[in-house]
Each structure stands twice: as structure tokens, then as C-alpha cells.
Structure 1
Amino acid sequence: MSATRSRDNSVKRKNVQVVVRVRPLSESERSLGNKNIVSCDFGGKTVSLKNVNASDSLRFIQGQKCFGSYDKVFGPESTQLEVYEGVLAPLMKEVLNGYNCTVFAYGQTGSGKTFTMEGRHDDSNDYTWNTDPTAGIIPRTLQQIFSELGVDIDYTVRVSFVELYNEQIFDLLSRSENSQLESLRIFDDKEKGVSIIGAEEVIVLSLKEVYDLLRRGAEKRRTATTLMNITSSRSHSVFTISVMIREPGLVDGEELLRQGKLNLVDLAGSENIARSGATDIRAREAALGRVINALTMGSSHIPYRESKLTRILQDSLGGKTITTIIATISPASSNFEESVNTLDYAQRAKNIRNNPEVNLRITRKGLLKEYKDEIDRLRRDLLAAREEKRAFLDQEKSSSAVQKEPEILSCEKSHEPSTSENSDEIQKGKVAEICEKLV
């Protein structure tokens, strides 16, 4: 016996949960004459936007538009802890019970997505997950895992951190000097779904290690931005937490391991995702929107394969994952149109229905087999890559020789044989010397 399911292996079919977070108006926005156009139903589920710009392209809204039926709304006064307790704390119970969960942060650039996900950290204070005022979802989640599981439970926590830009996937935790330029590949597994081949998974044991990894990832993103001219608002990041817990007792003489996973996704600015355009980059950025549209309309074909982002998140949208979207908006009057677009987008996503299903519980023997299969697959990929590189180098060498042939012939002509009895040997030596320099 290598794997088993619990009797109650799935929760009821449920819609994607959507919450809205409105950040405070910034001082720079005030200095530019922006007004606060957002009002929230405190403790409720509605958001209203007032259009104060008569020349705005959406003036037909006649001054105000009300968005409702969200699962939760967090106004400008909401704290990082309130957002975590309202959104993530319930999901953590599902992860520890063996479910896969995903949280998206979606909104225009500068609306608070990364602050919500990562937050800020002050090394001078020894905060806990429920006392740190600025910690984001990622560090709070991991510290809560450490706190709840404690020392009496045998468990392992692994994390990975990748960035997606222009259909390329980069490992933000790799220590390789070239990792900013080495794109990872996607692998489709019938049982386990889509995974990223080669992404480093790091075992974490403390909150300090978590913050160190976040800093390493942030530094990698900054370096990649410089090397590849990437604009941060055009890239996505996916921070994945995998938890494996040993269950008490034995089944058929073997220990069982329970697995749960949480994907924390900081999406590119909604000004890039929501709008389709003529370029290939624009089309790929809009793929997520097309998937959401297809799912909400009940289309028979869902275009998951149009982009790597939608392939990676396929199970989170219409699949077996418990999914929540945090829509972040700015209250500034200058951002009226983008805020309307974000709320419209989030409202459509709320109609997506998933079928959450608990992961297979696996034995240690089964886990070792999985690792062995993974190693074998990586070896095959490595051999294939070497063969591909060898074929490329052979082709390049052949092409180079063809290009240099006129020079070689010219060299031969300029060194005509002499009447000396060893002139042939001298001529061959000179040609060889010149050709060696050319190569």
C-alpha cells in the first residue's frame, strides 16, 4: 500500500472566495490633488466608487458605482493581522488537513499586493505571527504553522519561490549565479498535476529563515530586473509552502504522511493582465482573464495552455484547490478606472467553482519512490539537455567551418608550393598554423 485517502476526501463544491482590500490614500496622492473615491460597508461585503472626474471615460456611471457580494471587504483602516485572520487563518486549517490552497493578490501596480503578501519586517523586534503589525501573509503563515504543529508532531515544511516573466520561469531561491537567466520548465503529471522542474525547495525551520529567503528572492528579482530590463509590474511571483505531517499510528504496518500545499501568488499589475492587445506579450498577460471568462461562462474549452501562468494555476481555477482572490485597490481619484476594472474582474472570478479534494496520504515507502522517480526524470532531462547542447555545438562548429572555408583557401593560395623537396611539408605546416589561429 503506497497511498490512501481519508473517507471524507473532499469538501463541498465551492466558489472561489473573493475579498477586497482598499489601501489608505498616500501622501504623494494627496499632494497631487487626488481625492478618496472609495467607501466600504464596514464589516460588510460592498464597495462603492465615486467618479469625481467629469472627463473620465467611465462618466456614464453617473457619479457612483456600487460593487457587492464579496466575501469580505477590508477598508483603509484594516490591519495586516485582520487581513490574515480573515483570509488565511481558515485556509491554514485546510492545508494542515491535507488540502491544496491558493491565494492570489490581484490589483493595479502600487495598490498593495506585495505589502499584503510579504509585508515589512523589523529585525530589532521579536514579534510573533499575531503581534507583528507589518508582517505579510507569507511570514505569518509559516510562523503559524511552526506554532500550531509545535515540537510534538513530526513534520517538514518546504518552500519554493519562482518568478514568471514573458513566458519564462526563474528560480528566486537558487544559489546559482546564472539562475536569473535560466528559465525552468513545466512538467504535467496526470496524478500530481503541473509542477515546475528544477525549482529549488528549501526546508525551513524558523521565521528567521523565512525572512532570509524573502530577502534572497527580492534580491534575485532586483538583479533580474537589471539584467533583463524587466519591469516589476509585468512579472508574477509564486511562493509555495508544502507541509508534510506524519500521522500517528500505523496502517498495514506502515507510517502515513499527510501532505498539504499553499500557493501564495503575487500577480503582475492588473493594468497588464486585464487588457488584451496586439502584441504576443499582451496576449499572454491577458490569458488569465480569458481563463476566468471561460470558466464563468461555462465554456467547454478552458484555455489553460495559453500561458505558463495559467498552466501552473490550472488546478486553482476550476480544479481541486481551495482558492481565494484578494483584490487590492487604490482609493485615489486618479485610479478610478483601474479600480473599477479590478473590482469587475474580481466579481467575475467569484463565479468560478472548484471541487476541493484532499491529497492522497502516502507512506514513507511511497514517498521514497516518488523521490526516486523525480531523480530519474531529472537525470533524463539532464541527458536530453546535454545531447541538445552537443548537437547545437556540432552544428555551430560545422557552420563556423563553412564560413571560414574562403579564408582557408585564400591562405593556401598565398602559400604556393616551392621547388624545395620538403616544400609540401612546409606548406602544410603553414596552412595548419593559420587554420589553427582561425579556429
Structure 2
Amino acid sequence: MSDSIDTTGFPAGFVWGVSTSAYQVEGAVTEDGRGASIWDTRCKTKGGIGDGSNADVACDHYHRWPEDIALMRDIGVDAYRFSLAWPRLLPRGKGAVNEKGLAFYDRLIDSLLERGIEPWACLYHWDLPQTLHDLGGWTSRDCAGWFADYAALCAKRYGDRVKRWITFNEFSVFTLFGYAIPWAAPGITDRAAHLKAIHHVNLAHGAGVDVLRSLVPGASIGAIHNRQKIIPEHGREENVEPAALLDEHWNKAFPDPQLLGHYPPRLAEAIEPYVQPGDMARICRSIDWFGLNHYGPIFARAEPNSTWGYWWGDAPPNSPDYGVGWAIFPDAFREELLDIQRTYRLPIVVTENGCGGSDVVDAEGRVNDPHRIAYFTIYQEAMRAAMREGADVRGYFVWSLLDNFEWGTGYGSRFGIVHVDFQTLKRTPKASARWYADLIKAARAAGSQS
């Protein structure tokens, strides 16, 4: 497969970026007044992380951020999407503010701007303060107010410099895997808890949008949804209804109420006991763009013993993987972009796209990852096809800048375009980083000639 793709036709101002999240890269979990999060607790729970690791150090981005910004500058990205760590700014989730934590992001933001890289700040990427979880967390309606107060703190501190804001990353992942399928913190399996979490997170999103609108002049506000086509495993009839329910929980539980003003039908009936008068108006707030995280479709099967009667299934045998190690369906990406455009009628930013691997540094000090270059190439081609068919895509962010702590799986799979030696913390740009730098340079040159 060719390493090159057509770079013509990207709209003016198209944003090329890289993404990380605080808990996955920062480390320093007990330094400078940071409080504990639900993921710190999960890392200390037996069996909580597949390889028994933790994120106490992770990539040490908390101390090595100048080096990481230099890497971004060398690659030539326009923007860096990162998350603010709620427990670093408010160690108990509310109340007393941690000035050292606030100052860390001041330094990061200022340095990004000095180097011509736009900061895109996400308020929540899964690291709920443990103290708030102890008070009910997302199962408590009060959490929407706690989130609004946290959003106000961030907006007041950074809104003079940060104009691109994201309320939440991947709503459905942390609610489904945290409250119905025990693959993430806090590891609860309870239908009522899951339903409450969905609704209260939606309320928090609406409150966060209102706060950002009121406190950040010129704010461009988005929310990031993971959207993947849900396909019944092997096309079997018994998997059809479970797949339809998973589709509502995974793909529609958050963008539908936030942007259309209603829950999808199966979920609407189940969640009704937790909806109070006026809630849907509080949730459905105007935003500026739709953030999409996409890796591939999901194959669903019936599983009567699970919380909701569905489970993750297998892709069809002999599905193409292009050396990545999992089935690759670029047309599903193209179709998702077009469906989002038709349904929600917002500009789209691809905020995560990428693949894992077991990348190693060779004897010459290089990291060759042709599988990742192949993945990026075919997904970029699918994105371009969607754009030609009418998808209003305004930006593309690679996941991830760095190899990092991949949540419940630990450090086994490397998603970065920069290799991190987790013993020495040395950074080594991979072949895919050079490929991405060349793509950005070529796209800009093509845009200047059009």
C-alpha cells in the first residue's frame, strides 16, 4: 500500500493536531497537591489493570512537557488537544483550589502559544476525583453542579488564552465501562447506576457549555463522542436486538439529547425515572463542532448474563487488518462521518484516530511502524472520500502523540507516534511521526497553491 495520499482539497484553516489525556501521560500523581482520582484507586485494586501497572509516572509529561512541545513543533502540528486534570486543580473535587496545579497548565498553555501551537483543552477525560465518587460521583445529580464549578474555575483561569474547549471525552465509554461493564473505573455493574450516570453526565455537559459561553469570549466549544457502527455478530438474528441496544448506549445516548433534544427510544423509556422537568432543555445546548473519536466498527453479540444483554463480538473471519492486528474497515469511518453530518449538522473534528502496536527501538535507534502508516493512510483516504461527499470535516488529531498508559490494559499496546521507553522515559519519534509531518507539510503546500 502506498504511503502517500492526496493532500489537495482540505479547507482553509484545517487543523492538524495530536492528542493526549492528563491521566495517561502526566504521572506525578502525588506531587504538588494533586488529589486522587478514581483511576488511582483502580490501579491499586487487584486485577484493575491488565498488566498490573499504574500511571504514577506514565510518560512523566508533568515534568517533561517542554520536550514534548518541542516534538510537536518538529512534527509541525497546529494544535495540541490535552485534558485538564480535575484532581490536580481541585484535589477534593470541589472547594479549595490547588494553585500549583493551576500554574502547571499556565506554563503548558503559554509555551504552546509561544511556539504557535493552539491549545485545545478538554475538561474531563475520565479522571473523576475520588472524593466526588465517594459522594456518589456520576450517579449523583449533584455532580452536574460540581462539574459546572470546576468548568468555571478553568474558564476564568485559562479563558484569556484558550479558546478551543471540550466538555467531555467519550461520554459513552466511561459511563458504560464504568457503570455497566467493569472495564474501567469505578468498575460498577448496575443498570440503575448506568442510567443515572448517563443522564447526570448529560446535565453536566449542558451546564459546562453554559459556563464556557458566559466566561470565555469567543469560545469555540465542542464535545467528543466515540461513534462506531454496531454490527450484529455473524449477522445472526439473536444478535440484532442486542446490537440495536448497544447502538443506543454507545452512539446515541449523548449526542442525541445534547444536539437533538431527546434520548433514543429504547433508552428514553429506561431513563425516564431519572429525568426531571426542564432537564432536556438544560442538556440541549448549542455547540460549535462535533468531536469524533473513531477506530473501527463494533461487532455485538447477545450475552444474557451481562448487565444489558449484549457483549463485544468478533469481526468476520479473514477481515482485512493491513498488518495492524485488528480488523480494519475504512468505509465504516467514511459512513460515520457522513451520518454525523446528516444527523447533527455541525462541523466535525476528528479528535482521535490511530492504532496500537508493539513498537520497539531497533539497533540503529529507529522505530519503524509501517502498520500505523498504513492505517493512517487508508483512514485519511476514507476521510477525504467523506469530505468529497459532503462531510464538513475541519480538523484531524492523531491518537496519540506519545505511547502512554492505555487505561485498563496498561502499557502493553503502544498508540503513540513517539515511542516512550517507560524505564528511561526517552522519547523517540517513530516513522509514523515523520510520515505525519510530511503529510501536514504537503497539505499546507497544496492549500497555499489552491
Greater strand proportion: 1
The two structures have a TM-score, normalised by structure 2, of 0.31
TM-score by length of 1: 0.32
Larger radius of gyration, structure 1 or 2? 1
